[in-house]
Amino acid sequence: MKLRSLGVALAAMAALVTLPLHSSPAAAADLPLSQGKTATSSSDENAGTVAANAVDGNTATRWSSAATDTQWLQVDLGSTATITQVVLNWETAYGSDYKIQTSADGNTWTDVKSVTGGDGGTDTLDVSGQGRYVRMSGVHRATQYGYSLWEFQVFGSTGGTTTPPAGCDTANAAQGKTATASSTENAGTPASAAFDGNTGTRWSSAASDPQWIQVDLGSSQSLCRVDLNWEAAYGKSFQIQASADGQTWTTLKSVTDGTAGSTSYDVSGQGRYVRINGTVRGTGYGYSLWEVAVHTGSGGGSGPVQGGGDLGPNVIVVDPSTPNLQAKFDQVFAQQESNQFGTGRYQFLMKPGTYNGINAQVGFYTSISGLGLNPDDVHINGDVTVDAGWFNGNATQNFWRSAENLSITPSNGTDRWAVAQAAPFRRIHVQGGLNLAPNGYGWASGGYIADSKIDGTVGPYSQQQWYTRDSSVGGWTNGVWNMTFSGVQGAPATNFDSGPYTTLDNTPVSREKPYLYLDGNAYKVFVPAKRTNARGVSWPNTAGSSIPLDQFYVVKPGATAATINTALAQGLNLLFTPGVYHLDQTINVTRANTVVLGLGLATIVPDNGVDAMHVADVDGVKLAGFLIDAGSSNSNTLLQIGPAGSSADHSANPTTMQDVFVRIGGAGPGLATNSVVVNSDDVIVDHTWLWRADHGQGVGWETNRADYGLVVNGDDVLATGLFVEHFNKYDVLWNGERGRTIFFQNEKAYDVPNAAAITHDGIVGYAAYKVADSVNVHEAWGLGSYCNFTSDPSIVQAHGFQVPVKTGIKLHDILVISLGGKGQYAHVVNNTGAPTSGTDTVPSKITSFP
């Protein structure tokens, strides 16, 4: 690989010297439609060769794929375009055979050009087609490496309305209907003029932001397309929104690069009222529209969304007879071992049987799962390993990976799972011991085990903290600061006054995570039932129910938010296959008992400031196994469970959020005011890591600003395994009654510029965990907060925890720690507890408060 890197560097230098800046006639005249738009790919060679590089207009950056034949790169143009030319500027690793494809929805593709015998360099291809998405689909590589493109340029035209997709009515449902607006420029430009069918009349607003215009369709309609015909005074940034009552609005489409003229937008949603909500004008005048047309019907281009199907390009299904099985594990691990902020996502699914001599090393964004109904149906005589060789024996950044639903007989008697946050070990039977520390016993900062049986001893060694739930262990050797157990057979007794252990005999309420399995040759998802006062594993006779795969929309790379929402509206569940999914509208989960399950750390990125996901105040929604990565435009709330004011009783069938992780920054600039807001009652938050990045790209006090991690407004919410770190204000803010938390791990933001930046109400520092003054009943066990104020080590934070002093408020086993003396805590809870001091990283503890 070093020789390969040298060759790439020399090729890049040669390209800069010999390639003209504009390699095609079209490029000389026009900016590519693709430039700066959202690009995705089947794989990336590494974090420096991501898909976005191929559409950035810079011939010194490139995308390159994994070294296999079937790879693709695609770009979302943002709206339907007529495509006339595609220019591919290949690096030395080029495609000899490939196709250019277009798609309206990112799912169904049409070939518009096939190339065979390509010779690299710059390919200028004249094509004819329409689509919002354009893809280079590789068939055969010309070299031993992957596919590599300096630039992927798409030329053509947008503007003008196109025929609505199949199932979407061509008639304008808004014409002649009642229209209103936030303002009008004068009496000659009323709101009604935008809905009169006359392109010689127009609405225009006052010359200020924001402004809106809306139409009442008369009854609730299924919305599939909106056509906007802007006058010269256009909206640069605006949202197309729908409402049932004209009061509460759902954003169907966010646009940040609007232009004058006519453009059509495919949408998916329901509403009686449709609104264009302008937030940034394109000129110094107001907003002005000649016409707005609203189309209704099923839309989607090809009728209803179909459930089931294959599991996409990034799921690797194996059985004991699979040839070169070890090489398959090794190939993915080589790509993902240090690929902390890359776009590669992989899921290994192991069919039932016995696998001998396997060492499955698990890197970033890689999951390994058995396809049996029970863990012992898939047995590995070998190892499932996480170590920290890539980071010099330091395991504190071994994030985002998982193992689930299989059994292991370790080759040397002890398996190694040396992980940090967001790396669950679920439903595993280890027929031996389990080592949670890296080779050499370097630093480690995990971790989570649930529904697992470890026959031998678990050795945390250098692990700072760990939470284990509803499991059994043959023994537990030690711990550093905070080892918390609930419902664990064989767990050590509580000794927090002198040691690290907090142990609860049972877990009050729990439900295990849904998982994919094989019933014969048919894929199904098993949904475990709720357990009360659980202790020990749920298997082999796990209570619950199975859902066939054809009741899931299998979401694959390139899928759109509109299609996802259409699938949900049809009553389908969601199975996100491994990939990175950019959303231009919020995913709305409105049906009770919906399952949203991710494989291989599937990642959702909200674009243009939309929220990533909203869940209605309904029973039994299951969210599991995915990562939400904040976009570069601020989202108000990345995940909202229940609208504000939710009050329904869900105690019999709670919504669960399991292995759902949030990241703001790290992979690039990210912004979100709130990460997760829980408004519904009775929700179970089971293992989450909400992380405002302290390293990576796009990191800074304001660059990746995120004020709040978890905000709980609902009553009777339970959190088991809560990891929340580095937020600008409160990491956890709990406003609901009768909340409970079992295990909490926190680091305060490293990059606080000074004490003044976090001083409020006469208090220095926002508590890591705050219970609102209005709350009367709250209880929590095993809580830790650490400070590491690298920007200003002189900061003394008032306390780690802030709660009202009432008889119903109870905290058990709480600690604060200064990491190496970079900042200190004055107290543990409120004004109680000794201050931290010095550089020895010694915790200050309280066993009970008040």
What's the token pair of residue 58? Answer: 């810079």
The token pair at 158 is 């947008």
Closest CA to 85 of 27, 126, 57: 126
| Contact indicator for 535, 489 with CB cutoff of 8 Å | yes
| Cis amide bond preceding 514, omega within 30 | no
490: left (phi over 0), alpha (psi -120 to 50) or beta: left
**How far, in Å, are 257, 460, 690, 793 from residue 694 at the CA level?**
31, 25, 12, 16
Tell me the C-alpha distance between 475 and 464, whole Å: 18
Please give the structure tokens belonging to residue 543: 């209570």
Q: Are 181 and 211 in contact (CB under 8 A)?
A: yes
Sign of the Cα torsion 166, 167, 169, 173 reads negative
Strand partners, 435: 416, 459
In DSSP terms, which residues pair with 598 in a beta bridge? 576
Write down the number of H helices and E strands in the chain.
4, 56
Annotated catalytic, 747? yes
**What is the spatial distance between Cα 268 and Cα 567, in angstroms, rounded to a whole number?**
10
Question: Residue 824, Cβ neighbours under 10 Å: how many?
Answer: 20
Question: What is the CA 754 to chain-centroid distance, rounded?
Answer: 31
3-state secondary structure at position 521 = coil
Please give the structure tokens belonging to residue 300: 């989607």
Task: Determine which one of 91, 737, 747, 779 is catalytic.
Answer: 747
Report the C-alpha gap between 657 and 491 in whole angstroms.
25
Beta strand pairing call for 122-141 and 72-90:
antiparallel
Tokens 């965990």 identify what position? 769
Q: How many C-beta atoms surround the C-beta of residue 760 within 10 A?
A: 10
Give the integer Cα–Cα distance in Å for 675 and 330.
35
Distance separating alpha carbons of residues 492 and 317, to the nearest angstrom: 38
Could you tell me if 843 and 481 are in contact, meaning their C-beta atoms sit under 8 angstroms apart? yes
Handedness of CA 760, 762, 768, 773 (dihedral sign): negative
Q: Supply angle C-alpha 47, 53, 57, rounded to 5.
A: 160
Burial of 847 (0-12, 13-18, 19+ CB in 10 A): middle
Q: Count Cα atoms within 13 angstroms, Cβ side, for 828.
A: 21
Written in H, E and C, the secondary structure of 205-225 is CCCCCCEEEEEEEEEEEEEEE
Q: Is the dihedral of CA 101, 103, 107, 108 positive or negative?
A: negative
Distance CA 76, CA 61 (A): 19
**8 Å CB contact between 410 and 383:** yes
State how far the Cα of 86 lies from the Cα of 165, in Å rounded to an integer: 24
Write the CB contacts of 750 (distance below 8 Å, at least 6 apart in sequence): 694, 726, 788, 789, 790, 791
DSSP state of 154: E
Q: Which of 53, 37, 63, 288 shows the shortest CA–CA distance to 156?
A: 37
The structure tokens listed for 7 are 């060759």
At 729, list the tokens.
């204000």
Catalytic residues: 747
